[in-house]
Amino acid sequence: MAEIQNDEKQPVAARDKQEQAVVDRLVFAALREQTRARRWRIGFMLFFIIYLTVVTIVAFNKSSGGFIVGGEADGEKHTAVVKVSGVIASGEEGGSEIVIAGLESAFEHEDTAVIVLEINSPGGSPVQAAYIYDEILRLRQKHESIPVHAVVVDIAASGGYFVAAAADKIHVNQSSLVGSIGVRMDAFGFVDLMKKIGVERRLLTAGENKGLFDPFLPEQADQKAHLQSMLNEVHAHFIDAVKKGRGDRLVEAEEIFSGLIWSGETALSLGLADAYGTTRSVARELEAEDIVDFTPTTGLLDRIADRIGSSAGRSISGQILGTPGLN
pLDDT given for residue 54 in this prediction:
67
| Angle 219-222-225 from CA coordinates, rounded to 5° | 95
| Ramachandran area for residue 149 (φ above 0: left; ψ -120 to 50: alpha; else beta) | beta
Separation CA 151–CA 183 (nearest Å): 23
What's the whole-number average pLDDT of the chain?
Answer: 81
126 pLDDT above the threshold of 80: yes
CA-based torsion, 74, 79, 84, 90: positive or negative: positive
Q: Which residues are catalytic?
A: 158, 210
Least confident of 118-127, 202-211, 305-314: 305-314
What is the tens place of the pLDDT at every residue in 2-28? 444 455 555 666 666 676 776 667 667
Encode burial over 191-223: b for 16+ CB neighbours within 10 A, e otherwise: eeeeeeeeeeeeeeeeeeeebebbebeeeeeeb
Angle between helices 96-108 and 126-142 (to 10 degrees): 10
Beta-bridge mates of residue 175: none
pLDDT given for residue 318 in this prediction:
42
DSSP 58-73: HHHHHTGGG-EETS--
What is the tens place of the pLDDT at every residue in 200-251? 888 888 888 888 888 888 888 888 888 899 999 999 999 999 999 999 999 9
pTM of the model: 0.70
Q: What is the mean pLDDT of residues 62-82?
A: 62
- Contact between residue 153 and residue 121 where contact means Cβ atoms under 8 Å apart: no
Does CATH place domain 66-318 in 3.40.710.10?
A: no
pLDDT more than 90, % of the chain = 49
Q: What is the mean pLDDT of residues 33-50?
A: 76
Domain ranges across the chain: 66-318
Least confident of 49-53, 135-139, 153-157, 277-281: 49-53
pLDDT given for residue 236 in this prediction:
94
